[in-house]
Amino acid sequence: MGKIPPSFRSAISNPFLRRPSSLVPAEASQSTVTSSAKPHYLPKKISNKKPSQVSGKVKETQNSDSSKTAKALTIFKSPSLTDAKNVFNSMIKSSKMLNDPRFYNTILQSYTSISTVNDSVAFLHHMKKTSPSFSPDRSTYHILLSHSCKTPDSSLAPVHQALNLMVSNGINPDKATTDIAVRSLCSVGRLEHAIELCKELSLKHSVPDTYTFNFLVKQLCKSSALSTVYNFIDEMRTSFNIKPDLVTYTILIDNVCNTKNLREALRLVSVLSEEGFKPDCFVYNTIMKGYCMLSRGSEAIDIYNKMKEEGVEPDLVTYNTLIFGLSKAGRVKEAKKFVGIMAEMGHFPDEVTYTSLMNGMCREGNALGALALLEEMEVKGCNPNSCTYNTLLHGLCKSRLLEKAIELYGVMKSGGLKLETASYATLVRTLCRDGRIAEAYEVFDYAVESKSLTDVTAYSTLESTLKWLKKVKEQSPTI
């Protein structure tokens, strides 16, 4: 319980990449864009599956001629080049869309997705030869480029091959090219290659735009030491005159806050002010989150007051962060006060707010009060999420209200909600302590069935709990 609950995490993750550009491969940008809005614990993949550049085009074509493109999508059954050529030849005989470049791009994309880079290039040549009206455009080469980036390879050779093909056909790589290459490389975990390529493209063609740059910074933050990130930023600044913007600083601040390095976070805030930026709501929320994770409620309130002073309007995330932090620091009374304030400001408490409050109340040992809050939120039309239930379950077990906990577990089970590691472990332990081993086994079964935890985690918890129980019994037979 010392950490931020998952539902909460998604609520405060920063919406750094706010550009749903059609040129950006969907999976890279969409996840970050959508995560900003709201915590979502139920079907979370709905918005993630935004059609990417090419499949978006497929859709358009589908509207005009659905039967044909539907065929095109599944038409290549084998990666064999000869087969693909034959299929293509028979297609152009029957198709009426020979002047639409999107038609060819769709076909190429479809073939590329199951084939190798070399075969795809050969196939592109074949398309050009057999169908003179087709002239490959930028997106045609981007398809090949993206594919070459995703091919596992120890060098950038296939990527260079795709880029050279593009240049030799008179299309110079631009910002979008860089962006696609960088994101594709990162999507398969080739961050170092992405950086290498980004620098190379900056030298030869065009510098990355801020979105690509910030994307790289964010990826770097995830995997490298802070000094590496700073070096990269410095290098880009001195070599290519790319300056970090407010989003870059927010990424950096978020990163240092997550490693609990608040001193560095404050230094970054002063740097960004020196650079002429004014901290916005996201920056403040991020720093506040840093304090809250360390249970430093007073500092979190200070940030809130500072926002007010600077005229930055706190948003729902600000209040939720603050209420979470205060609850975590055991200052539930103040947290409740802020629930009132946020309502006055027109932000209605959501499941995150309630869950944070419950968390605080459970920490105080007031699990029954937290349970009452569950009813209250449901009456107010706010749906509890799995994190809410897990928090309560944990709290009830800790307060030794086993019957209530079992009841709640029943509700979770009937709703198919997942158990979190902490609440699972606490429930199993409480049941075992009460001598209800069979029920603990049943919870274990549910945790495995519902895929809440991996088999290993679920079993290790059960095993070590039983071991612990045996030890306790040996020491005092009357527990």
Residues near other proteins, by CB under 8 A? 2, 421-422, 425-426, 429, 432, 435-439, 441, 455-457, 459-470
Pick the closer one to other proteins by CB: 52 or 390: 390
Pick the closer one to other proteins by CB: 351 or 439: 439
Q: What CA–CA distance (Å, rounded) separates 45 from 31?
A: 9
CB 332 within 8 A of CB 303: no
Q: What CA–CA distance (Å, rounded) separates 426 from 438?
A: 16
Q: How far is the CB of 398 from other proteins (least distance, A)?
A: 9
Q: What CA–CA distance (Å, rounded) separates 402 from 113?
A: 53
Pick the closer one to other proteins by CB: 88 or 424: 424
Q: How far is the CB of 55 from other proteins (least distance, A)?
A: 38
Q: What CA–CA distance (Å, rounded) separates 468 from 447?
A: 20
Q: What CA–CA distance (Å, rounded) separates 194 from 370?
A: 48
Q: What CA–CA distance (Å, rounded) separates 286 from 265?
A: 9
- The residue among 414, 415, 410, 375 whose CA lies nearest residue 393 is 410
Q: What is the CA radius of gyration of the chain?
A: 27
Q: How far is the CB of 351 from other proteins (least distance, A)?
A: 23
Q: How far is the CB of 463 from other proteins (least distance, A)?
A: 4
Q: What CA–CA distance (Å, rounded) separates 406 from 413?
A: 10
Pick the closer one to other proteins by CB: 138 or 436: 436
Q: How far is the CB of 422 from other proteins (least distance, A)?
A: 5
Q: What CA–CA distance (Å, rounded) separates 19 from 7?
A: 24
How is residue 153 annotated by DSSP? Answer: -
Half-sphere exposure of 67 (CA within 13 A, CB side): 4
Q: How far is the CB of 64 from other proteins (least distance, A)?
A: 53
Q: How far is the CB of 468 from other proteins (least distance, A)?
A: 7
Q: How far is the CB of 451 from other proteins (least distance, A)?
A: 14
First to last CA, the chain: 26
CB 322 within 8 A of CB 292: yes
Q: What CA–CA distance (Å, rounded) separates 32 from 41?
A: 16
Pick the closer one to other proteins by CB: 3 or 237: 3
Q: How far is the CB of 405 from other proteins (least distance, A)?
A: 15
Question: Between 175-187 and 191-204, two packed helices, what is the crossing angle to 10 degrees?
Answer: 170
- Dig out the tokens for 402 from the structure: 């086993």
Pick the closer one to other proteins by CB: 286 or 465: 465
Pick the closer one to other proteins by CB: 193 or 394: 394
